[in-house]
Amino acid sequence: MSQSPLDDFLYHLKRYMEYTTEMRSSFEHLTEREKQMIIEASPSQQGPEELSKHAYEWHDALYSTLKK
């Protein structure tokens, strides 16, 4: 654990980005039926590509704010 809770959060957000990217990559190799099953089971009815997109947007916006 780092000295700063914000640094810890940023570390975990970066890891979240990595995991969602890996999920998206795995998702792309599934059959259409498997993809549909995963999307239907999702609370937001979205696939991992949306999670990855949101993670990157969150990361970029936060870092942009911190640089100001």
**Residues of the domain holding 32:** 5-67
* pLDDT score, position 53: 95
* pLDDT score, position 11: 94
Total count of domains within the chain: 1
Give tens-digit pLDDT for 6-25. 999 999 999 999 999 999 99
3 confidence band (pLDDT: 50, 70, 90): confident
DSSP-derived secondary structure letter, 44: T
Amino acid, single-letter form, for residue 44: S
Read off the pTM: 0.80
Q: How far apart are alpha carbons 32 and 13 in whole angstroms?
A: 29
Let me know: does 10 contact 62? Beta carbons within 8 Å. yes
Q: Which residues fall within 8 angstroms of residue 27, CB to CB, at 6 or more apart?
A: 35, 38, 47, 48, 49
**Cβ atoms within 10 Å of 59's Cβ, excluding its own:** 15
